[in-house]
Structure 1
């Protein structure tokens, strides 16, 4: 079904601009997939919105074939629903999937931060602290999109510092539905400030080489997202399906 026109999300049809294919790597269909996925995750495409293939083809300058291939991949990832004879719609949020994704991500990230707190090098710590300073500057500028990007990078750095190559991709897969829902959360007044404080606590615990404190700070941080999203199930049922 089409998205609710009374949604507080920006009018995607007026403001959406797909990222150019040059920003992505791989085959043509992989590049199209990357551009469309970014637009879905950033809520440029709203939950429930119909994705118009002719519009996408015109904007990206491609034929229907790579767009169809990209949409099939998005459907496999659970980001769109292809309805025969009706079209392709962006999936609405599912709180059940969000809770499951958060559970899986927490298991991975708590294990990672405990390990990193005992093995982190001075250079790795410097990378985290630089990231934190950029987050603070973006928060002060009110740059929600930039802050969100650096937030994600901080978590990716911690996962990568474990030395386990597959961990980041596993966490990203588990987090995909939570990641999309996060964009509903960061624009809330005060949330960037709270998030920065939570990130500071995590990095401070890592710097102190205290794995238990790092675990506790990370667990608290991850829990805040779910707590802040739960009320939306009642306040904005048009954005969700199921429970």
Structure 2
């Protein structure tokens, strides 16, 4: 009887997605657990609507219930999980309303950022962006979608950081959470990463030329094209979205 119960538990535990090790993250134990689960949700290792079983997570990560409970509370505050009394904790489903709102906020911040940065960008900062772009090219050639995704995020973070305002990057990241998660569904699409790479090149070229108008236009087109690509997902993957 005991062996049957143990086997059943192991089978359930084996269903957990591949999680990044806690030592890949920084901070306190509860913060590392939070970042680990956030990464799993944003990368779609945990699918929208999937139930998160805290006991199994504790066993898998080798931690007590407290840091997992704290992480879930923070994820709920970010809108990444839904805690339903008497039912459990579930990965939040997508909402096109939330995606559009996040994209609207991100566009406002990033357009202001590129306009400001174009006026004072240094040669060293341009070199950093060019280096990032070359690495993106390698990721496209190798069809390394995860690597491309990480470099994509780094490029945008660099531009925002060049404003000299630390809060801008944090606000942009928070507004982009739901978009960030949904866009993972797009990267494996044939030709999408190559299109994105070309859009990035136009932004960096405009910044290198210190052309604020061209930088704003290239950034606006880039962000809006992404939303246009996301719009059909609700129709194509209704199971991943909140019921209307």
| Both proteins in one fold, TM over 0.5 | yes
Whole-Å separation in 1 of the counterparts to 2:98 and 2:191: 26
2:46 corresponds in structure 1 to 45
Q: What does 1:15-26 correspond to in 2, within 5 Å?
A: 16-26=17-27
Aligned pairs (5 A) from 1:32-181: 32-181=33-182
Residues 193-213 of structure 1, C-alpha deviations (whole Å, 9 max, x = no match) = 000000000001111110000
Structure 2: gaps (5+ residues): 1-13
Alpha carbons 1:18, 1:59 under 8 Å: kept: no
**In structure 1, C-alpha distance between the alignment counterparts of 2:210 and 2:16, rounded to whole Å:** 45
CA-CA distance at 1:29 after TM superposition: 1.1
Deviations 1:144-174 (A, max 9, x none): 0000000000000000001111110010011
Larger radius of gyration: 2
TM-score, scaled to structure 1: 0.93
Match of 1:184 in 2: 185
Paired residue for 1:6? Answer: none
Deviations 1:108-160 (A, max 9, x none): 00000011111100000000000000000011000000000000000000000
- TM-superposed deviation, 1:16: 2.1
Please report how far the alpha carbon of residue 99 of structure 1 lies from its aligned counterpart in structure 2 after TM superposition. Answer: 0.1
The count of corresponding residues between Structure 1 and Structure 2 is: 231
Cα distance in 2, alignment partners of residues 110 and 149 from structure 1: 21
Deviation at 1:233, TM superposition (A): 1.1
Which shows bigger deviation, 223-232 or 17-26? Answer: 17-26
Q: 1-side partners of 2:226 and 2:128: how far apart?
A: 24
Match of 2:8 in 1: none
| Distance (Å, rounded) in 2 between the aligned partners of 1:166 and 1:182 | 24
Structure 1 residue ranges without an equivalent (≥5): 1-12
CA distance in structure 1 between the aligned counterparts of 2:200 and 2:26, rounded to whole angstroms: 31
Moved over 6 A (4+): none
Whole-angstrom CA distance in 2 between matches of 1:242 and 1:95: 11
> TM-score w.r.t. structure 2 length?
0.92
* Secondary structure of 2:44 counterpart: coil
